Amino acid sequence: MVRQSDFYDITVVGAGPVGLYAAYYSGLRECKTKLIETYPHVGGRLISMYPEKEIFDVAGHRKIVAAELVRELTGQAMQYTPTVVLNERVTGLRILDERVIELTTPAGLHHTQTVILAVGCGAFVPRKLDIPHLIEFEGNGIYYFLPSFEPLRGKRVLIVGGGNSAVDWALSLGGIAAEVTLCHRMYKWQAHEAMVHRLLASSVRVKYPYYTIKEVLGDDKVAGAVIWNERSGLEETIAVDAIVLSIGMLTNIEPFREWGLRIVGSGIAVAPDMSTNLPGVYAAGDIVTYPGKVLLITAGSGEAATAVNSAKEYILSGELGR
Protein backbone atom coordinates (compact mmCIF):
# COMPACT_ATOMS: atom_id res chain seq x y z
CA MET A 1 0.00 0.00 0.00
CA VAL A 2 1.44 3.37 -1.07
CA ARG A 3 1.10 6.12 1.51
CA GLN A 4 -0.58 9.23 0.10
CA SER A 5 2.27 11.42 1.37
CA ASP A 6 4.72 9.37 -0.74
CA PHE A 7 2.57 9.41 -3.86
CA TYR A 8 3.20 12.06 -6.53
CA ASP A 9 1.26 13.36 -9.51
CA ILE A 10 4.30 13.78 -11.76
CA THR A 11 7.81 12.45 -11.24
CA VAL A 12 10.45 13.89 -13.54
CA VAL A 13 13.49 11.67 -14.09
CA GLY A 14 16.51 13.78 -14.94
CA ALA A 15 17.36 17.28 -13.66
CA GLY A 16 19.11 18.67 -16.71
CA PRO A 17 17.67 21.80 -18.38
CA VAL A 18 14.67 19.93 -19.81
CA GLY A 19 13.94 18.15 -16.53
CA LEU A 20 14.19 21.39 -14.55
CA TYR A 21 11.77 23.09 -16.91
CA ALA A 22 9.40 20.14 -16.67
CA ALA A 23 9.49 20.40 -12.87
CA TYR A 24 8.71 24.13 -13.09
CA TYR A 25 5.84 23.65 -15.49
CA SER A 26 4.47 20.79 -13.41
CA GLY A 27 4.37 23.14 -10.44
CA LEU A 28 2.66 25.77 -12.57
CA ARG A 29 -0.04 23.19 -13.32
CA GLU A 30 -0.33 22.58 -9.54
CA CYS A 31 0.86 19.00 -9.69
CA LYS A 32 2.62 17.38 -6.75
CA THR A 33 6.06 16.99 -8.26
CA LYS A 34 9.19 14.96 -7.61
CA LEU A 35 12.51 15.36 -9.43
CA ILE A 36 15.03 12.49 -9.44
CA GLU A 37 18.61 13.04 -10.63
CA THR A 38 21.53 10.60 -11.00
CA TYR A 39 24.19 13.22 -10.24
CA PRO A 40 24.67 14.78 -6.78
CA HIS A 41 23.57 18.11 -8.27
CA VAL A 42 21.02 19.44 -10.72
CA GLY A 43 22.05 20.58 -14.18
CA GLY A 44 22.84 17.28 -15.87
CA ARG A 45 25.52 17.32 -18.52
CA LEU A 46 25.61 21.13 -18.60
CA ILE A 47 27.20 21.17 -15.17
CA SER A 48 29.08 17.87 -15.33
CA MET A 49 30.67 18.35 -18.74
CA TYR A 50 30.80 22.01 -19.73
CA PRO A 51 29.64 24.51 -17.08
CA GLU A 52 31.76 27.32 -18.55
CA LYS A 53 30.65 26.82 -22.16
CA GLU A 54 28.41 29.44 -23.72
CA ILE A 55 24.99 28.22 -24.87
CA PHE A 56 23.40 29.80 -27.94
CA ASP A 57 20.17 27.86 -28.47
CA VAL A 58 18.05 29.15 -25.57
CA ALA A 59 15.14 31.44 -26.34
CA GLY A 60 15.46 34.91 -24.83
CA HIS A 61 19.26 34.79 -24.51
CA ARG A 62 21.76 35.93 -27.12
CA LYS A 63 24.13 33.63 -25.28
CA ILE A 64 24.37 32.34 -21.75
CA VAL A 65 27.02 30.40 -19.83
CA ALA A 66 25.81 26.88 -19.03
CA ALA A 67 26.22 27.26 -15.25
CA GLU A 68 24.21 30.50 -15.27
CA LEU A 69 21.44 28.86 -17.30
CA VAL A 70 21.24 26.06 -14.74
CA ARG A 71 21.03 28.61 -11.91
CA GLU A 72 18.14 30.39 -13.63
CA LEU A 73 16.31 27.14 -14.42
CA THR A 74 16.80 25.91 -10.86
CA GLY A 75 15.41 29.11 -9.39
CA GLN A 76 12.45 28.90 -11.75
CA ALA A 77 11.73 25.25 -10.86
CA MET A 78 12.10 25.70 -7.10
CA GLN A 79 9.31 28.32 -6.97
CA TYR A 80 6.86 25.47 -6.52
CA THR A 81 9.04 23.46 -4.09
CA PRO A 82 9.19 20.09 -5.84
CA THR A 83 10.69 17.21 -3.90
CA VAL A 84 14.25 16.86 -5.18
CA VAL A 85 16.09 13.53 -4.95
CA LEU A 86 19.78 13.67 -5.91
CA ASN A 87 22.42 10.99 -6.38
CA GLU A 88 19.89 8.29 -7.29
CA ARG A 89 19.76 6.51 -10.65
CA VAL A 90 16.43 5.09 -11.67
CA THR A 91 17.08 1.46 -12.54
CA GLY A 92 13.56 0.15 -12.94
CA LEU A 93 10.04 1.19 -13.93
CA ARG A 94 6.92 -0.89 -13.32
CA ILE A 95 3.25 -0.12 -13.78
CA LEU A 96 1.59 -1.51 -10.66
CA ASP A 97 -1.94 -0.37 -11.34
CA GLU A 98 -3.85 1.79 -13.78
CA ARG A 99 -2.68 4.94 -11.98
CA VAL A 100 0.36 3.76 -10.01
CA ILE A 101 3.88 3.66 -11.45
CA GLU A 102 6.79 2.39 -9.37
CA LEU A 103 10.32 3.62 -9.96
CA THR A 104 13.24 1.71 -8.49
CA THR A 105 16.58 3.21 -7.45
CA PRO A 106 19.40 1.65 -5.38
CA ALA A 107 18.08 3.66 -2.42
CA GLY A 108 14.47 2.52 -2.61
CA LEU A 109 11.13 2.93 -4.37
CA HIS A 110 9.24 5.97 -5.68
CA HIS A 111 5.53 5.96 -6.56
CA THR A 112 3.76 8.31 -8.90
CA GLN A 113 0.74 8.65 -11.18
CA THR A 114 2.82 9.74 -14.16
CA VAL A 115 6.47 9.89 -15.17
CA ILE A 116 8.32 12.27 -17.49
CA LEU A 117 11.67 10.90 -18.66
CA ALA A 118 14.03 13.83 -19.29
CA VAL A 119 17.25 11.85 -19.15
CA GLY A 120 19.20 13.51 -21.95
CA CYS A 121 21.01 10.85 -23.96
CA GLY A 122 20.56 8.25 -21.26
CA ALA A 123 23.65 6.52 -19.87
CA PHE A 124 26.63 7.60 -21.94
CA VAL A 125 30.41 7.48 -22.22
CA PRO A 126 32.61 9.61 -24.48
CA ARG A 127 33.42 8.13 -27.86
CA LYS A 128 37.14 7.34 -28.11
CA LEU A 129 39.60 6.77 -30.95
CA ASP A 130 41.74 3.69 -31.41
CA ILE A 131 45.06 5.47 -31.88
CA PRO A 132 48.51 4.95 -30.32
CA HIS A 133 49.08 6.28 -26.78
CA LEU A 134 45.59 7.77 -26.35
CA ILE A 135 44.54 5.77 -23.30
CA GLU A 136 47.85 6.12 -21.47
CA PHE A 137 47.62 9.93 -21.62
CA GLU A 138 44.11 10.17 -20.21
CA GLY A 139 44.40 12.45 -17.20
CA ASN A 140 47.68 13.87 -18.54
CA GLY A 141 46.54 16.10 -21.36
CA ILE A 142 43.64 14.16 -22.92
CA TYR A 143 40.16 15.62 -22.31
CA TYR A 144 36.71 14.47 -23.40
CA PHE A 145 34.88 17.42 -21.87
CA LEU A 146 35.89 20.65 -20.14
CA PRO A 147 34.40 21.33 -16.71
CA SER A 148 36.79 24.29 -16.49
CA PHE A 149 38.87 26.22 -19.02
CA GLU A 150 41.49 27.26 -16.44
CA PRO A 151 43.73 24.16 -16.81
CA LEU A 152 44.18 25.11 -20.49
CA ARG A 153 45.21 28.71 -19.87
CA GLY A 154 48.38 29.49 -21.83
CA LYS A 155 48.43 25.99 -23.33
CA ARG A 156 48.57 24.81 -26.95
CA VAL A 157 45.31 22.95 -27.51
CA LEU A 158 44.15 20.59 -30.25
CA ILE A 159 40.39 20.03 -30.53
CA VAL A 160 39.10 17.09 -32.58
CA GLY A 161 35.52 17.31 -33.85
CA GLY A 162 33.09 19.38 -35.88
CA GLY A 163 29.95 19.58 -33.75
CA ASN A 164 28.61 22.42 -31.63
CA SER A 165 30.67 21.50 -28.56
CA ALA A 166 33.94 21.32 -30.50
CA VAL A 167 33.35 24.64 -32.26
CA ASP A 168 32.11 26.41 -29.11
CA TRP A 169 35.09 25.17 -27.11
CA ALA A 170 37.50 26.32 -29.81
CA LEU A 171 35.96 29.80 -29.82
CA SER A 172 35.80 30.02 -26.02
CA LEU A 173 39.45 29.02 -25.65
CA GLY A 174 40.56 31.67 -28.16
CA GLY A 175 41.34 34.20 -25.42
CA ILE A 176 42.53 31.66 -22.86
CA ALA A 177 44.79 29.14 -24.59
CA ALA A 178 48.06 30.21 -26.20
CA GLU A 179 47.09 28.49 -29.45
CA VAL A 180 44.07 26.51 -30.61
CA THR A 181 43.94 24.07 -33.53
CA LEU A 182 40.75 22.28 -34.57
CA CYS A 183 40.71 19.35 -36.96
CA HIS A 184 37.55 17.93 -38.47
CA ARG A 185 37.34 14.81 -40.63
CA MET A 186 33.95 15.37 -42.27
CA TYR A 187 33.28 17.61 -45.26
CA LYS A 188 30.08 18.83 -43.62
CA TRP A 189 30.02 20.54 -40.23
CA GLN A 190 27.58 19.41 -37.54
CA ALA A 191 27.78 22.77 -35.76
CA HIS A 192 25.43 25.67 -36.45
CA GLU A 193 26.39 27.62 -39.55
CA ALA A 194 26.80 30.98 -37.81
CA MET A 195 29.23 29.48 -35.31
CA VAL A 196 31.24 27.81 -38.08
CA HIS A 197 31.56 31.15 -39.84
CA ARG A 198 32.78 32.72 -36.60
CA LEU A 199 35.28 29.90 -36.20
CA LEU A 200 36.66 30.28 -39.71
CA ALA A 201 37.06 34.04 -39.17
CA SER A 202 38.78 33.59 -35.79
CA SER A 203 42.40 33.02 -34.84
CA VAL A 204 41.75 29.27 -34.41
CA ARG A 205 43.82 27.20 -36.82
CA VAL A 206 41.27 25.02 -38.62
CA LYS A 207 42.30 21.84 -40.45
CA TYR A 208 39.47 20.37 -42.53
CA PRO A 209 38.02 18.50 -44.31
CA TYR A 210 39.22 14.92 -43.86
CA TYR A 211 41.63 15.77 -41.03
CA THR A 212 41.84 13.71 -37.87
CA ILE A 213 44.36 12.76 -35.23
CA LYS A 214 46.59 9.77 -35.96
CA GLU A 215 48.89 9.59 -32.93
CA VAL A 216 49.48 11.24 -29.56
CA LEU A 217 53.08 12.18 -28.76
CA GLY A 218 54.86 12.68 -25.44
CA ASP A 219 56.54 10.95 -22.53
CA ASP A 220 54.59 11.26 -19.28
CA LYS A 221 52.13 13.82 -20.67
CA VAL A 222 50.87 15.10 -24.01
CA ALA A 223 53.53 17.02 -25.94
CA GLY A 224 52.32 16.76 -29.52
CA ALA A 225 50.11 15.03 -32.02
CA VAL A 226 50.26 13.70 -35.54
CA ILE A 227 47.28 14.82 -37.60
CA TRP A 228 46.62 13.54 -41.08
CA ASN A 229 44.36 14.01 -44.04
CA GLU A 230 42.49 10.78 -44.77
CA ARG A 231 42.08 11.64 -48.45
CA SER A 232 45.57 12.82 -49.36
CA GLY A 233 47.50 10.89 -46.73
CA LEU A 234 49.35 14.10 -45.79
CA GLU A 235 50.65 14.02 -42.20
CA GLU A 236 51.61 16.91 -39.96
CA THR A 237 53.21 16.85 -36.52
CA ILE A 238 52.14 19.70 -34.23
CA ALA A 239 53.25 20.64 -30.73
CA VAL A 240 50.32 20.63 -28.29
CA ASP A 241 49.93 20.46 -24.51
CA ALA A 242 46.35 19.24 -24.48
CA ILE A 243 43.95 17.39 -26.77
CA VAL A 244 40.17 17.68 -26.50
CA LEU A 245 38.26 14.85 -28.20
CA SER A 246 34.74 16.03 -28.99
CA ILE A 247 33.53 13.28 -31.31
CA GLY A 248 30.27 12.33 -29.68
CA MET A 249 28.95 9.97 -27.05
CA LEU A 250 28.17 6.27 -26.96
CA THR A 251 24.75 5.89 -25.37
CA ASN A 252 23.11 2.94 -23.68
CA ILE A 253 19.34 2.96 -23.98
CA GLU A 254 18.87 -0.78 -23.37
CA PRO A 255 17.53 -0.21 -19.83
CA PHE A 256 14.59 1.71 -21.32
CA ARG A 257 13.87 -1.16 -23.68
CA GLU A 258 13.90 -3.55 -20.71
CA TRP A 259 11.26 -1.36 -19.03
CA GLY A 260 9.00 -2.04 -22.01
CA LEU A 261 9.43 1.28 -23.75
CA ARG A 262 9.40 1.34 -27.54
CA ILE A 263 12.82 2.26 -28.88
CA VAL A 264 13.41 3.58 -32.39
CA GLY A 265 17.03 4.04 -33.39
CA SER A 266 18.75 5.52 -30.33
CA GLY A 267 15.71 7.17 -28.78
CA ILE A 268 12.40 6.57 -27.03
CA ALA A 269 9.53 6.80 -29.51
CA VAL A 270 6.87 9.35 -28.54
CA ALA A 271 3.58 10.55 -29.98
CA PRO A 272 2.92 14.27 -30.63
CA ASP A 273 1.70 14.62 -27.02
CA MET A 274 5.06 13.19 -25.79
CA SER A 275 3.40 9.99 -24.58
CA THR A 276 5.30 6.72 -24.86
CA ASN A 277 3.76 3.30 -25.45
CA LEU A 278 3.38 2.86 -21.67
CA PRO A 279 0.34 4.48 -20.02
CA GLY A 280 1.24 7.44 -17.84
CA VAL A 281 4.85 7.54 -19.07
CA TYR A 282 6.01 10.54 -21.11
CA ALA A 283 9.41 11.67 -22.32
CA ALA A 284 11.09 14.87 -23.50
CA GLY A 285 14.47 16.17 -24.59
CA ASP A 286 17.38 14.46 -26.31
CA ILE A 287 16.17 10.97 -25.35
CA VAL A 288 13.03 11.13 -27.53
CA THR A 289 12.64 10.52 -31.22
CA TYR A 290 9.92 11.45 -33.71
CA PRO A 291 9.89 12.78 -37.28
CA GLY A 292 11.50 16.23 -37.34
CA LYS A 293 13.15 15.91 -33.91
CA VAL A 294 15.64 18.74 -33.18
CA LEU A 295 18.36 18.37 -30.54
CA LEU A 296 18.08 21.79 -28.93
CA ILE A 297 17.45 22.89 -25.34
CA THR A 298 14.68 25.17 -26.58
CA ALA A 299 12.98 22.30 -28.41
CA GLY A 300 13.32 20.10 -25.32
CA SER A 301 11.71 22.77 -23.16
CA GLY A 302 8.69 22.82 -25.46
CA GLU A 303 8.50 19.04 -25.32
CA ALA A 304 8.63 19.21 -21.51
CA ALA A 305 5.66 21.59 -21.42
CA THR A 306 3.73 19.31 -23.77
CA ALA A 307 4.58 16.28 -21.63
CA VAL A 308 3.41 18.02 -18.45
CA ASN A 309 0.14 19.13 -20.06
CA SER A 310 -0.46 15.61 -21.33
CA ALA A 311 0.33 14.11 -17.93
CA LYS A 312 -2.06 16.57 -16.28
CA GLU A 313 -4.86 15.56 -18.64
CA TYR A 314 -4.13 11.90 -17.91
CA ILE A 315 -4.37 12.58 -14.17
CA LEU A 316 -7.63 14.52 -14.59
CA SER A 317 -9.13 11.74 -16.70
CA GLY A 318 -8.53 9.31 -13.87
CA GLU A 319 -10.14 11.61 -11.34
CA LEU A 320 -13.22 12.05 -13.55
CA GLY A 321 -13.52 8.29 -13.98
CA ARG A 322 -13.75 7.61 -10.23
In this prediction, residues 157-178 reach a mean pLDDT of 92
**Lowest pLDDT segment from 55-59, 106-110, 133-137:** 133-137
Q: Between residues 32 and 175, which one has the greater pLDDT? A: 32
- Torsion sign across C-alpha atoms 167, 168, 170, 171: positive
Let me know: does 182 contact 227? Beta carbons within 8 Å. Answer: no
| Cis, bond preceding 209 (omega within 30 deg of 0) | yes
- Mean pLDDT, range 161-177, rounded to an integer: 91
Query: What is residue 240's predicted lDDT score, i.e. its pLDDT?
Result: 96
- Residue 254 is predicted with a pLDDT of 86
125: left (phi over 0), alpha (psi -120 to 50) or beta: beta
Cβ atoms 241, 222 nearer than 8 A? yes
The reported pLDDT for the residue numbered 252 is 78
pLDDT at residue number 122: 67
pLDDT at 321 over 70: no
Domains plus CATH for the chain?
A: 4-124+249-320 (3.50.50.60), 128-245 (3.50.50.60)
Nearest-CA neighbor of 31 among 73, 83, 70?
Answer: 83
Q: Within the chain, where are the H helices?
A: 17-28, 44-49, 66-77, 164-172, 193-200, 254-258, 297-320
pTM of the model: 0.85
Choose between 58 and 304: higher pLDDT: 304
Write down the pLDDT at residue 232: 94
**Rounded mean pLDDT of the chain?**
92
Q: With CA atoms as reference, report the closest residue to 182 among 193, 198, 166, 197.
A: 166
Tell me what pLDDT residue 215 has. 92
Residue 52's pLDDT band, with cuts at 50, 70 and 90, is confident
Q: In this model, does residue 250 exceed pLDDT 60?
A: yes
- In this model, does residue 322 exceed pLDDT 60? no
Q: Read off the pLDDT band of 86 (50, 70, 90).
A: very high
pLDDT at 29: 97
